[in-house]
């Protein structure tokens, strides 16, 4: 979280020259009788392209400096295993301490990762089909009624019902996502808390 605020401050400082140049271009455009095709625009786009490149390179350096200052470089190597980490009776020599440590081989983790990917893909497709079905249902309800008849679409309820169904779908799937993501991440059996949190968020 702290690194986010460092980025926010860095980004804000870099916006100062961009906003200054943008303000000058805005004045130049306004002075030309409201003509949107100002000759200042191409120069501004070139400037913003250079600005974006320089900003990203500057942030990379700032990020490394901050991580080094806060002792965040390679801290994962010395991080203790999670209490829930199940080594499945496998041990190896630690590359950090040289002592024997619990180890979950990649040959056992990869099948679980493939399974997690398949489940995630299935849920993505499920949500996509649900959204398509809701929009089709919404279009059906919003269709105009034949002459002399009254339908739900006549009262504008098609859009309201469709939006309501979409909101319900989002809330229900959020609960399902949370439960499934937790179970899949637990099954992946990550060694450290950092690895576990990264996998859960991703």
Instruction: Give residue 87's pLDDT.
Output: 58
pLDDT at 90 over 80: no
Place 110 in a pLDDT band, splitting at 50, 70 and 90: confident
| 8 A C-beta contact, residue 79 and residue 193 | yes
Of the candidate ranges 5-9, 72-76, 124-128, the one whose mean pLDDT is the lowest: 72-76
* Residue 148 clears pLDDT 60, i.e. is over it: no
What is the distance in angstroms between the CA of the first residue and the CA of the last residue of the chain?
Answer: 16
Distance between CA atoms of residues 12 and 39, nearest Å: 28
Q: What is the pTM of this model?
A: 0.54
pLDDT digits (tens, 9 = 90+) for 149-175: 655 555 567 778 888 888 998 999 999
Q: Is the pLDDT of residue 20 over 90?
A: yes
pLDDT at residue 16 in the model = 94
- Looking at the chain, list the stretches that DSSP marks H as alpha helix, in order from N- to C-terminal side: 2-30, 40-69, 106-142, 157-188, 193-201
């Amino acid at each position: 979280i702290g690194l986010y605020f460092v980025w926010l401050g860095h980004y804000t400082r870099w916006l100062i020259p961009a906003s200054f140049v943008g303000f000058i271009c805005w004045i130049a455009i306004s002075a030309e009788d409201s003509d949107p095709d100002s000759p200042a625009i191409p120069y501004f786009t070139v400037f913003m392209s250079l600005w974006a490149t320089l900003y990203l390179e500057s942030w990379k350096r700032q990020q490394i400096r901050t991580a080094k200052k806060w002792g965040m470089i390679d801290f994962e190597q010395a991080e203790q295993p999670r209490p829930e980490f199940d080594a499945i009776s496998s041990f190896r020599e630690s590359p950090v301490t040289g002592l024997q440590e619990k180890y979950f081989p990649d040959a056992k983790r990869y099948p679980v990762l493939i399974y997690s990917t398949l489940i995630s893909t299935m849920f993505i497709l499920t949500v996509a089909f649900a959204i398509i079905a809701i929009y089709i249902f919404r279009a059906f309800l919003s269709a105009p009624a034949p002459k002399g008849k009254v339908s739900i679409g006549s009262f504008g309820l098609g859009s309201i019902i469709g939006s309501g169904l979409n909101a319900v779908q989002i809330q229900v799937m959020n609960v399902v996502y949370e439960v499934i993501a937790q179970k899949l991440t637990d099954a992946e059996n990550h060694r450290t808390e950092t690895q576990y949190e990264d996998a859960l968020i991703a």
